[in-house]
Amino acid sequence: MGDPCVPDVMLRSVTKENVAEVLRLRVHARQEHLVAPNAVSIAEAYFEPAAWFQAIYAGDEPVGFIMVAHDAEEGTDYLWRMMVAGDAQGRGYGGAALRALIDYTRRIALISIRSH
């Protein structure tokens, strides 16, 4: 069992079963200028073959969204977009999601990841 102060977060695929829940996630109104809505992110990833995304889950509840893209020129992957829903902020989900992303990228053999 992990540290009780660190939330149990998993990255999961966005599927037809959970896409509506992921699309309903919103940051606080005062943060809307900082990150695109998840629908826009998913649409952008659809047209960008180097991009991939996951939903951030705390238990069975979606609490956020994360998107990564590959930079072929630099040979690295970068964090393109990340959001934690306004009502889920302040609970450590963002940091836990970044740790989960790092673990995931290591498992799928990406060498490094950087923020955009």
Residue 4 pLDDT: 56
3 found inside a domain: no
| Confidence band for 110, pLDDT divided at 50, 70 and 90 | low
CA separation for the pair 10, 75 (Å, rounded): 26
2 found inside a domain: no
Number of domains comprising the chain: 1
Q: Which residues pair with 82 in a beta bridge?
A: 66
User: pLDDT tens digit string along 22-79?
Assistant: 999 999 999 999 999 999 999 999 999 999 999 999 999 999 999 999 888 888 889 9
4 found inside a domain: no
Residue 29 structural domain: 9-115
The yes-or-no verdict on residue 6 having pLDDT over 60 is no
CA separation for the pair 96, 99 (Å, rounded): 5
Q: How far is CA 80 from CA 45, 57, 90, 93, in A?
A: 10, 19, 21, 18
85 found inside a domain: yes
Domain with residue 31: its CATH number is 3.40.630.30
16 found inside a domain: yes
| Confidence band for 112, pLDDT divided at 50, 70 and 90 | low
25 found inside a domain: yes
28 found inside a domain: yes
1 found inside a domain: no
Q: How far is CA 105 from CA 6, 55, 74, in A?
A: 20, 15, 17
